[in-house]
Amino acid sequence: MSVRPWSPEDLGRPTDGTWADMAFGLGEMYEREGDLEAAADWYRRAAESDRADAALRLGAVLGRLADARRADESAEELLAEATRWLSEAQDATTPDAIELITDMLNRHQRQAARRGLEHAASA
């Protein structure tokens, strides 16, 4: 794994931010770069440090990862984790959060439909 230097300015945050702010900023940076695995790791750390909006971002990123792995068994685990974070988010009643939760429910339905089709095909 290559190590690339960064500075607090790369995160778009002031240098006197909290650990949760720094973790959230790293999550944003990795998400922008398309590294959803790393983004999820950093958003998870920020959410565990009680950064309110990190749980919503984490849920969204985990949902995207699950979509990318829909044929993989880990997709269901990612969806379950995303649902937990979204349902426990402090901002779960905002329009953005409701949209994310609705997206997650749709992902669960698609996953269940795929399982049903696979089961029917194997029977």
Q: How confident is the model at residue 15 (pLDDT cuts 50, 70, 90)?
A: very low
C-beta of residue 20 within 8 angstroms of C-beta of residue 28: no
Are 92 and 57 contacting, i.e. CB atoms less than 8 angstroms apart?
Answer: no
Q: What is the pLDDT of residue 11?
A: 54
Smallest CA-to-CA distance from 91 within 115, 59, 45 is with 59
Residue 29 confidence (pLDDT) above 90: yes
Across the range 16-43, mean pLDDT stands at: 91
| Segment 39-91, tens digit of pLDDT | 999 999 999 988 878 999 999 999 899 888 876 778 888 888 888 888 777 76
pTM value? 0.71
Q: Which domains does the chain have, with CATH numbers?
A: 12-122 (1.25.40.10)
The answer to whether 83 touches 77, Cβ cutoff 8 Å, is: no
